Amino acid sequence: MNRIDERDTIFSRMTLEDGSDRYMRYYKKHPEKKEIDDKLRSAPPGQFSYSVPEAPMVESTFAFITRLRDFVRGFDGQYEAPEGIKEQLSALPPSALTDYLKKTLRSYGAVVSGSGLTDEACAYSVRGRGEHYDQPVEELLPFTLVYALEMSTEELRTAPGIREAAEVAGTYLRVAVPGLAIAAYLRSLGYRAVCHMDGESELVLPPIAARLGIGQIGRHGLIVNKRYGSRIRLGAITTDAELRLDNPVDFKLPKACEACRKCATLCPVGAIPQGSIIDDYENQVRSIDHEACFSAWKKFGTDCGICVAACPYSRVGSTLKSSSGSGKAASKPGDPDFLKAFMFGKAGPAPRDS
Ligand code: SF4
Ligand code: SF4
């Protein structure tokens, strides 16, 4: 697997300021992306479901999360455990520390976790956010503990909209805290440890989560856990403390996705491939159209979440159904045909493939 350059991700590209050094360098190397990116950046954010009190909460929560990113490698005044603790721990089997960390994660709200060797293929090749922009990812710590917190079914049922966006922001905050605390704990014992959280990660979290048993990658490009579906957000800690090696899980999701296609049918911009996504060896070979997806977010003025809510594994109880071809007029937010008309007018989106 070729490592992903974080500078190529849509979230990195959307931070490039017209005329800046980063902007000039990036589009000199990738002129094919300039037109669509300029268009996406300059589009005014929509007000599809703007409402108070939720809207300022989304922004303020993400602003707070941005400050938390400063703590992923440590902070002033960090606690140091008494001498000799690390030696005592090293005498125990790796499963003892792993079990304790996973138990702690559960008490901090994680519903699922996995541990094992850090797979370099699941790390960015070069960082593309904030102060780390342009930095190659070279020195990964050898073990990874990855975990997920669940999002509320009730709030996700409202996708797309401000309540779903507030739930996403709140979950990113809740998922950051255990990762920061456990990384700080490991450092206090004398190990090296780095927390990987929203917007501040050396790891591409969905593939490492799949490697370490959290779930499998769905047609919509997100991790799908057998019990919670895509209704989860991921965090991770890398460390030089030896951890137990968990195995990937296989509940035949790629085959289920070949038959299901619900997320692709309901995506208001046709960003999710409709056709076969696996090759003869069941390797996933298609990915989503990130520019199209982001265009929906921009037009809604929030993130979208329809594919998360629609996935049967997420068990959201979403009322979203494709009514295309039913002959009934689409009339309300949440109705897929209403959303497609909102995005594109009467013509609707061009399907990505058949
Ligand atoms: S978040 Fe919305 S626009 Fe993006 S892929 Fe999912 S359904 Fe499509
Ligand atoms: S909605 Fe269906 S096709 Fe999409 S990820 Fe979930 S199971 Fe796969």
- What is the distance in A from the centroid of ligand 1 to the CA of 304? 6
- What is the distance in A from the centroid of ligand 1 to the CA of 43? 18
Rounded-to-integer distance, Cα 136 and Cα 120, Å: 12
Domain-wise residue ranges, the chain: 49-239, 253-344
Q: Which amino acid is at 215?
A: G
Q: Which residue puts its alpha carbon closest to atom 1 of ligand 2?
A: 311
Residues 186 and 73: beta-carbon distance below 8 Å:
no
- What is the distance in A from the centroid of ligand 2 to the CA of 257? 5
pLDDT in tens, the chain (354 residues): 689 999 999 999 999 999 999 999 999 999 999 999 999 999 987 777 777 888 889 999 999 999 999 999 999 999 999 899 989 988 888 899 999 999 999 999 999 999 999 999 999 999 999 899 999 999 999 999 999 999 999 999 999 989 999 999 999 999 999 999 999 999 999 999 999 999 999 999 999 999 999 999 999 999 999 999 999 999 999 999 999 999 999 999 999 999 999 999 999 999 999 988 776 666 666 789 999 999 999 988 888 999 999 999 999 887 666 544 443 444 455 566 766 666 666 555 555 554
Angle between helices 336-344 and 290-300 (to 10 degrees): 90
Best of 306, 311, 315 for a ligand 2 pocket test (most atoms within 8 Å of beta carbon): 311
The bound ligand whose nearest atom lies closest to the alpha carbon of 218 is 2
Q: Which residues pair with 224 in a beta bridge?
A: 216
Q: Which residue puts its alpha carbon closest to atom 5 of ligand 2?
A: 218
Q: Which residues pair with 126 in a beta bridge?
A: 136
Rounded-to-integer distance, Cα 150 and Cα 164, Å: 13
* 253-269 CB burial, b ≥16 within 10 A, e <16: bbebbeebbbbbbbbbb
**Percent composition of the chain: helix, strand, coil (DSSP 3-state, to 5):** 45, 10, 45
| Predicted TM-score (pTM) above 0.85 | yes
Classify residue 273 as exposed, middle or buried by CB count within 10 Å of its CB (0-12, 13-18, 19+). Answer: buried
Best of 251, 261, 293 for a ligand 2 pocket test (most atoms within 8 Å of beta carbon): 261
Classify residue 51 as exposed, middle or buried by CB count within 10 Å of its CB (0-12, 13-18, 19+). Answer: exposed
pLDDT digits (tens, 9 = 90+) for 326-346: 434 444 555 667 666 666 665
Q: Report in angstroms the alpha-carbon separations of 264 from 48, 168, 231, 336.
A: 21, 21, 17, 12
Residues with CB under 6 A from ligand 1: 220, 267-269, 271-272, 288, 293, 296, 304-307
Rounded-to-integer distance, Cα 321 and Cα 262, Å: 9
Sheet holding 232-239, edge to edge: 112-117, 143-150, 232-239, 193-196
Tokens of 132: 């780390």
- What is the distance in A from the centroid of ligand 2 to the CA of 231? 12
Residue with tokens 């929509």: 46
Cis peptide before 268 (omega within 30 of 0): no
Strands (E), 112-244: 112-117, 143-150, 193-196, 216-217, 223-224, 232-239
- What is the distance in A from the centroid of ligand 2 to the CA of 157? 16
Best of 313, 316, 322 for a ligand 2 pocket test (most atoms within 8 Å of beta carbon): 313
Tokens of 327: 């002959």
Rounded-to-integer distance, Cα 182 and Cα 238, Å: 10
CB of 263 shorter than 6 A to ligand 2: yes
pLDDT digits (tens, 9 = 90+) for 55-102: 889 999 999 999 999 999 999 999 999 899 989 988 888 899 999 999
